Chains A and B, each alone.
Chain A
């Protein structure tokens, strides 16, 4: 199993290089790993998987009810949704089928509900229902006053986006994919022979190229001479509320979409928090992942309207991410057979849901252009550590603690993360390279105290692990 983060890259050519280890790139690498004859590289600019747009989504497993009927996105979201639900169950990725309510706050929005129900029907989402105010408030008693009705979409779920990406990457690496982190691709040349990728760690060659570079997919495409789309980073700021807010809301509360975008939602998270966001700010800077006073004020104002009691709860975290918006209404997936290359661009927040279907689609395109890895095999399933509140954490499993007391030794009290879980994450197939990476894998110091109680203890475990036994002896 190969994960590298520094030093020169292997000189031998790969059959396929997937650029970008976000949720989509990892899913594609995993799908390609089913062909045992292929040598595959997954190349990532950052120090961990899922560090770009993948960590900025709203953690929803969509039904695709509101996609543009007949679009590629509509099909892949629909197929991907089923595939991911099954994969999550098999792999221990937390999912809660809470359902969504599209809440109409004025007459115009209420008038739009039947059209949305009809669109859902065309997207093969047959179980939606329009609710009047009485039914709506019975379902969401804490909803702010003035809602006129809602469209209920029972199939919408919440999911752990982080575990999903890590599960794909883990499975890919265990089946022979080489994951190269800290490897920004700065140029590509393709002159008859294999692609030569210029990276921060030297040259990497590959016969086939998959561009899943997210925010930077347009730049990589330009190197290959394509001008199909331009990525405009769209910043989304999000506020994560304390777990005590979880009882305030039962469904994903969506606004009725308008010309201005999908708007701000309130949703439970699988970790037991409540999410408010995102903003939608089109920017020029692909590194502007900071939150702003204006963005947070806007979110809180919207939140007060949707769920007034939210304002009395503590905020646990604030983050901002960039979505890869393009000028097109659909995913920009394009095969370039002459260049042995597939571009997977313009993947918006639905990319998480669509990831497995996208991977199958892209693999099909590669095979159409002559990639032959032999017959597909079944992959050994992965079993991911559970980060969800709806399923028992290790410290609540007596047999687990009895077998290994480290699971009963809690380090992070807010999120109830045991020393055993930290140890397991540090020894994982795709191990964390930073404390933030450890947080994403375990939720250590992701809770309400943000490290007041456990931060130093966690850093101590981290440094002992990094510096190895000599530090432990000292």
Chain B
């Protein structure tokens, strides 16, 4: 048995959510606050997003700069940010077995915050048939290869997907000196800001193939092309030596699941209430593991919010569970996915279908709680929000609260 070391708050994952929570907690004097990061550098996904869009309107930053800022802030406030440390498994309700070059260690905490992030579903999990050649990437791997390691990729890349992350992947392909053959999506239109789609099409002359599915990868050794099928049944082969599977994020919820923490059927991440409390007293969750994926800014704001909830728990707070919060098709998921009367932070949702000016209806046991009209369209794979103005009307003893779109 390895000896058990005790800390006050243990955060797993040094991405924006974990780092922001750690900074607030340490600054507020929550005791020993420790962040475990299995990578060699802290910062999470922004580390390899070598493009803008991070920080604030007043202080725009690139991903790596944002990652450094968050890491510095956590360390300056007194949190211990330990890189190269992997949380392997639970050894108790609030106790984790870890390993690092210094050896195995068991760490017990008064509160644990899971900030383990998300990943893109890789080719195999999407069941894309064909051979298994080299040259098959996800955006995450591509960005690290190009921006962190300066590795060469191929010369002609097909990007699967047409959402924000897909356009980021196209940018990385160009930064690596390769050509983007096309963006390919099953959707009828791009799922990004119109200006971004237009820029790719007009300035960079990247074709967007909508209503198109990648049906087979070709080539032995190195990728030689992808076979695609249009909605009308026509097929074609796009010659390429690189293909990037983008988006289709899944939460990295392994640790939560290993611990028997309840997962939400929609997000597949840990189910949490408005104070980011999971089903296990003392265990919180923040960031993209809850909602694969939202922006780094959202994760960081959530981290700050979780810090306040953790402090209330450390001061002897209760662990009310709230009632379940469910969505009805075509809505795909909502987070948080449990709700209690005091909750005041907005909810994030996803839809599977395009909804022009949707009206969201919130009901509990058939009783209408709220109705919210959106002026802009809800687009699949883009953020849709719901305010928390209605949570005071939730009956904590009642059945699940349902959100539907009309």
- Beta-carbon contacts under 8 Å, A285-304 to B: 287, 289-293, 295-296
Q: State the Cβ distance, A162 to closest chain B Cβ, in Å.
A: 15
Judge if A408 is at the interface, Cβ distance under 8 Å: yes
Q: State the Cβ distance, A371 to closest chain B Cβ, in Å.
A: 37
Please judge, given known A-B contacts A318-B124, A319-B132, A456-B145, whether A290 and B103 are in contact too, CB under 8 Å: no
Name the residue of chain A whose CB is nearest to the CB of B265. Answer: A312
Please judge, given known A-B contacts A450-B122, A456-B145, A459-B145, whether A290 and B130 are in contact too, CB under 8 Å: yes
Judge if A391 is at the interface, Cβ distance under 8 Å: no
Which of the candidate stretches A80-88, A264-272, A396-404 sits at the interface with the other chain?
A: A396-404
Q: Which residues of B contact A401 (CB under 8 A)?
A: 99, 101, 103-104
Instruction: Sample 27 A-B pairs with CB under 8 A, ordered by A number.
Output: A240-B124, A292-B129, A296-B129, A316-B124, A318-B127, A395-B99, A396-B99, A398-B2, A401-B99, A401-B101, A401-B103, A402-B103, A408-B101, A408-B102, A410-B99, A435-B134, A448-B254, A449-B122, A449-B252, A450-B124, A451-B137, A452-B140, A452-B141, A453-B39, A453-B140, A455-B137, A459-B149
Interface of B (DSSP majority class)? mixed
Q: Which residues of A contact B122 (CB under 8 A)?
A: 449-452
- Beta-carbon contacts under 8 Å, A410-425 to B: 410, 413, 416
Q: Which residues of A contact B151 (CB under 8 A)?
A: 456, 459-460, 463
Q: Which residues of A contact B215 (CB under 8 A)?
A: 293
Name the residue of chain A whose CB is nearest to the CB of B221. Answer: A434
Contact A409 B84 (CB under 8 A): yes
Q: State the Cβ distance, A393 to closest chain B Cβ, in Å.
A: 10
Q: Which residues of A contact B141 (CB under 8 A)?
A: 451-453, 455-456
CA distance A41 to B215 in the complex (A): 42
Contact A398 B138 (CB under 8 A): no
Judge if B235 is at the interface, Cβ distance under 8 Å: no
Interface string of B234-257 (1 = CB under 8 A from A): 000000000000000010101001
Judge if A315 is at the interface, Cβ distance under 8 Å: yes
Contact B86 A244 (CB under 8 A): no
Partner of B101, one of A287, A405, A435, A456: A405
| Residue of A289, A317, A416, A448 contacting most chain B CB atoms (<10 Å) | A448
CA distance A319 to B128 in the complex (A): 11
Contact A409 B120 (CB under 8 A): no
Judge if B220 is at the interface, Cβ distance under 8 Å: yes
Q: Which residues of B contact A395 (CB under 8 A)?
A: 86, 88, 99, 104
Besides A244-B254, A456-B145, 16 more A-B contacts (Cβ < 8 Å) are A240-B124, A290-B129, A296-B127, A296-B129, A318-B127, A395-B88, A395-B104, A396-B88, A402-B103, A408-B102, A409-B100, A449-B119, A452-B138, A455-B141, A459-B145, A459-B151
Q: Which residues of A contact B129 (CB under 8 A)?
A: 290-293, 295-296, 318
How many residues of A are in contact with the other chain, CB < 8 A?
42
CA distance A463 to B152 in the complex (A): 11
**A interface vs B, CB < 8 Å?**
240, 244, 287, 289-293, 295-296, 314-319, 395-396, 398, 401-402, 405-406, 408-410, 413, 416, 435-436, 448-453, 455-457, 459-460, 463
Q: Which residues of A contact B149 (CB under 8 A)?
A: 456-457, 459-460
Name the residue of chain B whose CB is nearest to the CB of A317. Answer: B124
Q: State the Cβ distance, A236 to closest chain B Cβ, in Å.
A: 14
**B interface vs A, CB < 8 Å?**
2, 38-39, 84, 86, 88, 99-104, 119-125, 127, 129-132, 134, 137-138, 140-141, 144-145, 148-149, 151, 215-217, 220, 250, 252, 254, 257
Name the residue of chain A whose CB is nearest to the CB of B121. Answer: A314
Name the residue of chain B whose CB is nearest to the CB of A297. Answer: B127
CA distance A454 to B46 in the complex (A): 15
Please judge, given known A-B contacts A318-B127, A450-B122, whether A287 and B220 are in contact too, CB under 8 Å: yes
CA distance A284 to B152 in the complex (A): 37
Contact B124 A405 (CB under 8 A): no
The list of the 6 closest CB pairs from A to B, nearest first, reads A450-B122, A405-B101, A456-B144, A455-B141, A456-B145, A452-B140
CA distance A314 to B248 in the complex (A): 13
Q: Which residues of B contact A456 (CB under 8 A)?
A: 141, 144-145, 148-149, 151
CA distance A398 to B39 in the complex (A): 20
Q: Which residues of A contact B39 (CB under 8 A)?
A: 453
Contact A457 B144 (CB under 8 A): yes
